[in-house]
Amino acid sequence: MDQLMWRQNAGKDVLFRQAKVIKPTKAVAAFDIDWCIIRTLSGRQFPTGPTDWQFWCAKTKSVLNRYRSHNVVFITNQAGLSKSDTKMKEWTQKI
């Protein structure tokens, strides 16, 4: 059972995935996704599809694991997501 669910605001300009149950904490860790957490697998500037990604470096996963006690927020700006259901579906598959 997926413990996370996708939601979108009424204006369709904010998409977020959140845990069904959020544990209260004052600790928050926020990261930009593109070129900080992940990069393209193809080496291109922009991904060619939902599988064209890899962690930014070999240590990325271990660094993220340090923040298990935090509420973790990933931030990204993805042009055109609100205008295309196909782009939205491909992007949510990546996460």
pLDDT exceeds cutoff 70 at 1: no
pTM to 2 decimal places: 0.70
The answer to whether 69 touches 59, Cβ cutoff 8 Å, is no
SS (H, E, C) 24-72: CCCCEEEEECECCCEECCCCCCCCCCCCCCEECCCCHHHHHHCCCCCEE
At 12-71, the pLDDT tens digits run 777 777 777 777 888 999 998 888 999 999 999 988 888 899 999 999 999 999 998 898
77 vs 68, which has greater pLDDT?
A: 68
Q: What pLDDT shows up at residue 34? A: 87
What whole-number distance in Å separates Cα of residue 8 and Cα of residue 13?
8
Tell me the C-alpha distance between 24 and 57, whole Å.
30
The residue ranking higher by pLDDT, 65 or 76, is 65
Q: What is the pLDDT of residue 44?
A: 94
Distance CA 91, CA 95 (A): 7
Q: Which residue has the tokens 């340090």?
A: 66
Residue 56 near residue 14 (C-beta atoms within 8 A)? no
- Residue 57 tokens read as 């470096």
